[in-house]
Structure 1
Amino acid sequence: MLSGENPHGREFRAWPGTRLAVREALVNVLAAAGLGIEPASRALLLDLIHDNLGFPLTIPEQATGRDQLIEVINACAKTDGGLNALADAVRLMRPESPESDWVRRLVHQPRTHDLLPETELMRLRSILSGLVPARLAVLTRRAAGTAVPPREVRDAWGAFCAFLDFNTPANGLPPALAFVEFVAADCGGTIGDELRDWNTAQARRLQAEAGLAELRADREPDRAAVSRLHLMIVVQQDAIDADLHVVSHWRQEDPAEWPPARGGTVTVQGDQLEHHVDALIVDAERAWSEFPGEVALEFVLPRPLLNLPVHLWCKEHETGDPRPLFLDYPIVVRSLERMRSRQWHRAWRIRWEALMTDPSADRVYFCRTEDTGERHRLDAILSDVQWVMMVLAAAPPSRPRPGEDELAAGLRSGLPALLWHPEASLDLLREVVTWLVGNGGLGDLPARVQDSRRAAFRNTTIPVDLRIARNLVILWDDPSRLVFLDGAPYRPGTPDERAS
């Protein structure tokens, strides 16, 4: 390859020839742009190349335009200054065009493939060829970063080859090497060690050691963190017909990625909500079939719908034997109003951090009926940063009561966790909640509530009556998992729908 200088000013060594992959890319770019395929265009391209070189090239005649273009590229690649002459010719024929810029970069910026010895590539191919990690699609998305990931790759080697054509980001670590690192972490064992050794050597060769070290440092916490995927379902009432509900969903496929792409929007009748959610969950389980970790369901609801009995819904109705959702998932509701009200987010994040730092039971406030007897009395109580969770004295009404509303006070004060029951007495509710959050249980309350719902079916000897657990409603709001509710991108291939 001819010497060139990348945009960061680093000088690259010259190579004795231009690799086949680069020549093929040049042919594809020029052919797609209509340059050199038709005889007149090819003749003009050749004239400009000859003028730039100062002498003519000998080009064998071929039967098709593409074959002839291949001969032109090969002749330029074998001639000192030939590819530079080609790039200048394309710039003159297509000034400031994408194809001109792409040709210039192919000529002057060596790709990762060109800088790696063939022996090293063959060694990597022997490891990755035929290797299909269970989460191959997830790993390619991670390695692509903000770029569009390669599609329709059959194995890890195919994905690696696709990444060879990606530009190197500012940290200096080529996406191809980032992909190898993710595969190494995913596979583990002997294969993982061998891939990491290979990556370390290539990063040193490419002067990308700092970028690799940064990536490895960033990925370390993933092993210790809880590996959990979420299906977030947002339900809104139609602006005209209150019996119509607009349903959107965000399905996470990578525990390290949030937000995922929006999955689409459907409008359904109220009596069809549970069945539509059933279909979303079944589709999610199919996508999660290779995932070995935990999953959770989140329903983001507006205030009028917060008492929807989502905790009692079932899945797989089509089998004739629907299964309760709580047997398989922690189920929580979240506040649509708070997600949209950015003026509440600072307080919300502060209280969430406090909850994660100190999930002790003495941080739960049990609301009393007299707390709402005086306007803003509850607001004053909850302004104490000790509180991170509140147990409501009653299920929240569909409309707020200004100045004396439990739900509004909790949301505006930033409390990330709220809990209520539609009919249980305050004394019984206090007893059950105190048992649930004891011994640090507040930190993962949704899982504790799920366990209590399942335990209510078993003859388990415990100090409290868990029968009320079936109807407990837990609002559990993690401010790190927000979604864009207006104008968000949709998952590729998932069009908007409207169902009756």
Structure 2
Amino acid sequence: MGWFTVPADAPPADARGALVRVVHGGTARTAGAGVQLAARSLLTCAHVVNIALGRRPLSPGDPGPVRLEVAFPALSPAPAVRARLAAWVAPRAADGAGPVPDGALEWAGDLAVLELDEPPPAPVRPLPWADMATGQEVRAWYGGGQPFTYADVRVGACDGRVGYLDGQLSGAAVEEGYSGGPLWSLRDAAAVGLVMGRITAPGGAFSAQHTVRRSWGVTRQAIEAELTRVGAGGLLHPDRTRDGVAFPEDGGLRDMLAGPVQALLGVPAERAVHATALAAELGLRTPGDGSAPTVEELATVLYTVERALPTLTESVARTVTERGARAELDRLLALGRLVEAGGLLSAAEHRKLLAKLTDLTTHDPGLLPRAAAAALPFVALPAPLHGARLSASAVPAVLRALETWTGDCSSVPHETPRLPALLRVVEYVAAEVGGLVGEVLREWSTRVAQRLGVHPSALDERRADAARWAARTASAGACVLVELTRHTDDLPDRYRCAVWRVRDDGTAARTGPRDDRPLTDAEVARLVRAVASGAEGPGQGVPMVAVAVGPDGLQLPVDEWDGAEPGELYPAPLGEDFLVVLRCPRVRRHSRTAGHDLSRRWEARRRTGPLIADERITSDRELMGLLKTTHRDQGSVVVHGPPKHRAQLLNVCLFMGVPIVLWDREAEDHRQAARLEPSRPSGPLEELPERVRHFRVRAHMDPAQTARPALVWEDAGLPLPDELRLADPGAAAGG
């Protein structure tokens, strides 16, 4: 394989090519090490992140989307760059139950994925990975990256989760600052795990019976399982683009590929042009003397180097004009499905799409899951797409999985290839985001489809499907606005009620009686039920009943008020038949900026998952600080805890203009937080009111279910009662 070679200035053939230094916040000290996984994703230990933040090393609490300083000391003189915590696997006891006990020598979990704010500097690149096994000779480096800090150890025992590492008495030992760094197998030329900790002798006089230079690391197998559990699986994979000069031989596959290569690039000069362009994309070196590789050499690269085959076809497709040449190109693409290293996308296509999807996912974590679910309704999606939100660090794994799937089942003209599943997902993403970004994605998929020989009508059909999906409107039914007030001389269980029905054009009309007399909860429920049921049209979804209350009314069980008429056989709680949500504008009026805050947070609500206000948030001031800084655009909060503490946090949310707040009004302490899980607070946000309604129906049927979810849903586009009175003070009832 003399024509294609690895550049002499390629990164060193060990793990220092991907070694990361994690910097202790506010200092120049090294907190620990890490390793680049893919694109902008880095892997380290959770306890290294804790050390960098000045926290207790084995603290299990997720610190949230904090940012750390990291560097690539072995290869790049560039200063430290910023990276965001994207996935957290908390340190836990070795048996998997509870936090790590004080003084423990071994534990589980303890991983963190970081996401760089910008691409890593050249020539940093990901590592190949392999399974850890007993007997491997492995090497580790200090996080500072100095060449002399290497520590050579042997895997003395490995149970698939943990490997115990024994070092010789000469040379460097694995110490603090090595944690989080890769364990590089010299024999396999691959990383097999991460440095996790060391096993030290107990205090007191040293004995010959004590362990000397024994450390331990977590295996690649365990890392993959832990990351998959938190939705970041698939990041550990071999990087075949620079496997070295040794290209493995497979004569049968090489001969099959050589046929269409010869037909397309039989002229040496043309073969030299395309092979040189291919090598430039793959990071390989060519002679530069005008010579061309043999057909066999080129065919060997196509089945051994990742993305070589689609990259070559991208180059050749630009020059194909004759029908016979197109047929040979299609033949080469068909053979590419047999090539494990081939892939669907060329190096350039993959690079552009990965960058775009990573950026879109950073700003809207729910975009790719909902687009994929709509585009591929009958496909078992990759594990990271099972949730409502996707971490940007998981995008490479998702993209890799989608590339492997075949096209959809629609018929295609003239036996042309089916549209690949990945392109269909991209079309749905493009339709959802719209604008210039959508056009860029559509142009990308058009070029890829043309290279693959997909008939334009097949792409147009799926593009039209995507446009119809993006133009969907939520199957929400009518909306009824309710205001509940009390006068100081009213009886405790009486409420004055005003009701408006929102018209199709967004305006609202006052309806119901106008005598303003105090009503019982049953009378209020019957009035609301009559208006909401009358507003519901055929084919519409469940009507929403938005009830405006004062701060003292947030705990009213309005959803349980029975709207059944006298003589009806069964009760009719409002929360079973309607999407009953609360509004409390009075608290917001005490803040000069809350109106702007509400609009901003409402617009950003789909880009942020819920902020869980549990025992980790100990005061209202702490929550306010989060909503002013790292969660400035937070659109939804789930509040847990005892009633008094919960009321304080709820008040902060409303004061700061958070439009969506969910809590269990019957919860007594933080231990009951799990009772809200059936409503899936982290699921698709627009469906939350309906999920809460389902929860209420089940809770009313099951006496053992004591949770009672309450939901503030402050749609920034809905008018407030005061605005309605000022706009239409004399509207006729039922207008």
Mark yes or no: TM-score above 0.5: no
Q: TM-score, normalised by structure 2?
A: 0.32
Q: Which has the higher strand share?
A: 2
Higher relative contact order (CA 8 A, sep 6+): 1
Q: TM-score, normalised by structure 1?
A: 0.45
Q: Which has the higher helix share?
A: 1
